[in-house]
Amino acid sequence: MSTNVEKESVGKYWVIFFIALIIQIVFLIWIREYFWIVLPFVVTYFSKAMRLI
């Protein structure tokens, strides 16, 4: 079963996800009321790294 999905590198998405995750953890520790600002980046790049979107 072959599909026409291009196999692009997802390494850059993993790097961006982990950077955003670290930033979100920092926000949760020190700036709790604004941790949700980073949440869209974490979710988006995790799903891109997992090739869900």
Record the tokens describing residue 31, joined without a space.
């700036």
pLDDT reading at 1 higher than 50: no
pLDDT value of residue 6: 67
Task: Give the pTM.
Answer: 0.80
pLDDT reading at 41 higher than 50: yes
DSSP conformational letter for 36: G
The Cα 1–Cα 41 span in angstroms is 33
pLDDT value of residue 35: 87
Closest CA to 46 of 19, 22, 13, 24: 13
Q: How confident is the model at residue 36 (pLDDT cuts 50, 70, 90)?
A: very high
pLDDT reading at 26 higher than 90: yes
Mean pLDDT rounded to a whole number for the chain: 89
